[in-house]
Amino acid sequence: MLNKLIANILPYMPKKLIWVFSKRYIAGETIEDGLLASKLLNEKGIEVTIDILGEFIHSIDEAEKNKNEYLEVIERFTDENVKGNFSLKPTSFGLLIDQEVCYNYLREVVELVASKNSFLRIDMEDSQCVDMEIDMFRKLRQEFPKHVGLVLQAYMRRTKSDLEGLNDLNSENAPISFRLCKGIYVEPENIAFKDFHEVQENFLADLKYMFENKMYAGIATHDKYLVDESKKMIQEMNIPKSMYEFQMLYGVTPELRQSIVDEGHRMRVYVPYGKQWFGYSTRRLKENPKMAQHIIKALFIRG
């Protein structure tokens, strides 16, 4: 209860205080910060996916600015041979302002990604965005089948049917690629599972469907139970290493992450950076109130 109370109060505290917590989970504010963090992870045998923070914007001017920054990032990261790809939230491109502009900006970015023989994953956002983001993914997947993927959230009751509905896009030459995560947005019970174990069960059911249908699976979790059960499923179903990877957030459960790498599984870390880090940080805090302890400790204990 105390952790939840702290987590609810901290977003209203000075940003300098929140940064004490955030700097562990965010690479920094600049492209150079993102590059440095990514290269250090590469040296440990870990690939990355880069995300520029700044969703839920208020103007198309902001959307264009974000689009241009992504174009710059893709050029820099590919030119410097960073082992990784890119993640993008459509609301940062104006999804809730003008869908057509958002799609055109998104397509421009994916076109550059394809020209660099790289890959971009469309992040899934809250329930108001799901249908729009699936529709955009479907259109882009048809044009750029090897260069665009999507995130699906296991706590959404609709996810299994979404997997089934998108299966027509799958092919042997270009397996459809999904990142499967639990989901972090606050949603009503009629559209999202609330029970912790129920979410775990649906995560594994969705993952099994992906494997059965030869989809590429990004297994995005810090839940050791889900990691262990995923590894069992991989072994029992004889899933080749070319058809899955584990994914984790920057700065979260590094010991579990390293154990997965040591066992020879492919690992990708989600590396967020940018000046709009405050909203991302407070969402992470609400998702895991235990993190509040680290903030309080950091205020009094150096390092």
Residue positions annotated with a catalytic role = 123, 179
Scanning 24-116, the segments in alpha helix (DSSP H) are 31-43, 60-79, 99-115
Strand partners for 86: 50, 120
Q: Which two tokens stand for residue 160?
A: 């299994």
Q: Is 252 in contact with 182 (CB distance < 8 Å)?
A: no
What is the C-alpha separation between 144 and 119, in angstroms, rounded? 10
**Number of neighbouring beta carbons within 10 Å of residue 14:** 8
Quickly tell me which residue has 């108001």 as its tokens: 128
Question: Could you write out the DSSP letters of every residue in 174-228?
Answer: S--EEEEE---S---TTTB--SHHHHHHHHHHHHHHHHHTT-EEEEE---HHHHH
What is the C-alpha separation between 120 and 112, in angstroms, rounded? 10
Q: E strands of the chain, at which residues?
A: 47-52, 84-88, 120-122, 148-153, 177-181, 216-220, 244-249, 267-273
**Sign of the CA dihedral 63, 69, 74, 75?**
positive
Q: Which two tokens stand for residue 164?
A: 């089934």
Give CA 68 to chain center in angstroms: 20
Q: Report the alpha-carbon angle 228-122-277, nearest 5.
A: 85
Q: Is 88 in contact with 66 (CB distance < 8 Å)?
A: no
